[in-house]
Structure 1
Amino acid sequence: MTQLAKDPRINRVPGMGLLCSELVHGIPPIFPHFVSNIPSIHSVLVFLSLKKLPVSKISEEVRLLFRHVDPREYRMFHCIVRYGYMDIIGTNEEFEHQLLERFKDFIRKEYLIADGGATEQTTDDRTGGIVPAPIQGVEEEIGFVERAADGGVVYLLGEAHVKAKKKFLHPNENNCLYFSEDQLQARGGTND
């Protein structure tokens, strides 16, 4: 992943890319093929894994599990979306909203853990007391993620076989790119 991230030919484009895959750990094998054929990735990239669990319901607070994909400065993340067999999967807009809110929560918690739970403190001259100051890094990171989401959310499907219904693509809805491994190999990609 580090080699891919440091490749000077790869451009970062505005927006948030969600690469959907069944893989729970690591980088989906189709991702290097995708990048070698289209040398661009979104400014924020989330490897998304949808998992149905053998429980009836998963609370919304623990439905989305995030973690960083190293190197951190490239803003690549892995997210496992867990559903129970009775959970109702909402619309794309509902999912994107929930994803963005949980993503921002993850960033806040990550900064809290990295700082040992401490915040910077400043002295308020008016009261003479110590007032916790917000950590600027958190707000910058959250602002970057929000701008990326405002730039558009693109779903990239990393599955072996996907079938679309007749009315799958509609104008002014989410973009969807799909490359099967066979198509990538036909274009000159290799299996790594």
Structure 2
Amino acid sequence: MFSTSEQHMIAASSIFYLGEIGLNDYSYALSAGNGTVDAAASLVPDIIAVIHSAVTAVIAAGARTVVVAGMIPIGCEPRMLALFPLGGAGDYYDPASGCIKKFNDLAELHNRKLQQMLRRAHPGAAIVRYADLYGPVAAAVASPRFGRSPLAACCGSGGGPYNFNANFTGFCGTPGSTVCADGPSASISWDGIHYTEATNRLFARAILLTRP
């Protein structure tokens, strides 16, 4: 067992990465509300408070470098696109990306509040960096590298523009599922919920090139 001082030394020489906390909360709230964002948006202050608490705890444990991930563009997830097809006014989908605009607005609200909290609450010795996950996905959706169906899951069933079947028998890895012909290296989403290695490489590059 390490002593308290040894633990602080290890923490001080390490990088702590906090992933996109709150995604499941927002997704469940959107599902429970049949795609309305009011209930999900009401969670933003509580989720930001939880992230604040987590960052404060690791800094108290000796961390000096903390990277906090922002929210992904929820409206670009194949799962959410398949679960909530056109159900609103003419601006339901972002014309440039095909993503659900109001879901992405929720993600952007989260990211603004998160960055405000990080700037305000953690000055001083610790380096607390915001990791933008939204930008790389938005750029990838618009990139010709990911072909004509950037919003489709590589592995899944159901076909269509999203290749996502909410039925458990249609998930990636089940007998009825298939894998895209061009492989995950040319896809953004692996199974409609998780990203491919290619997308995670974009995340890593964006985070490593961001200056404190």
Of Structure 1 and Structure 2, which has the larger fraction of its residues in helix?
Answer: 2
TM-score between the two structures when normalised by the length of structure 2: 0.29
Of Structure 1 and Structure 2, which has the larger fraction of its residues in strand?
Answer: 1
